[in-house]
């Protein structure tokens, strides 16, 4: 069993998530005070999910993390399509895109595992 050890020289995961949460909070505050139209958050909030997926992808250091990030990006794309009713795919008609997103993540993880360099002590779990 491998254990993930925190590397203080690479705090990128927490940095990315911190920036995303700060951005989300600032957007909600600006919306509450009328600086951002309220319809903006109703239709474009999935961008935060997409940003989280992109940040996770940039920080990924394992095939599993890459697959998870791609799934998050795919879910963000699905939410964007459904929230804006693009291509006539509202919430009730777009749910198959969630399956596509999960499949993309699994496929990406499998592909990443096939090319990922392995050490002699690594065991597949």
pTM of the model: 0.74
pLDDT tens digits, one per residue of 29-78: 888 888 888 788 788 889 888 988 998 898 888 999 999 999 999 999 99
Separation CA 43–CA 38 (nearest Å) = 9
Does the residue 91 lie in any domain?
yes
Does the residue 96 lie in any domain?
yes
Does the residue 98 lie in any domain?
yes
Residue 1 pLDDT level (bands cut at 50, 70, 90):
very low
Separation CA 104–CA 33 (nearest Å) = 39
Separation CA 9–CA 100 (nearest Å) = 36
Separation CA 98–CA 76 (nearest Å) = 9
Per the structure, the complete domain to which residue 60 belongs is given by: 37-115
Q: pLDDT exceeding 70 applies to what percent of the chain?
A: 84
Does the residue 55 lie in any domain?
yes
Does the residue 86 lie in any domain?
yes
Does the residue 27 lie in any domain?
no
Number of domains comprising the chain: 1
Does the residue 21 lie in any domain?
no
């Amino acid at each position: 069993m491998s254990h993930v050890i925190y590397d203080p020289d690479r705090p990128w995961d927490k940095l990315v998530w911190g920036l995303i949460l700060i951005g989300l909070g600032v957007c909600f505050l600006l919306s509450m005070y009328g600086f951002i139209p309220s319809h903006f958050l109703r239709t474009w909030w999935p961008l935060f999910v997409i940003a989280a997926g992109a940040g996770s992808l940039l920080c990924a250091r394992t095939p599993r993390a890459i697959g998870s990030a791609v799934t998050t990006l795919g879910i963000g794309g699905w939410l964007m399509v459904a929230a804006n009713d693009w291509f006539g795919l509202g919430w009730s008609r777009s749910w198959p895109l969630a399956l596509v997103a999960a499949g993309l993540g699994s496929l990406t993880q499998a592909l990443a595992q096939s090319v990922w360099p392995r050490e002699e002590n690594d065991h597949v779990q």
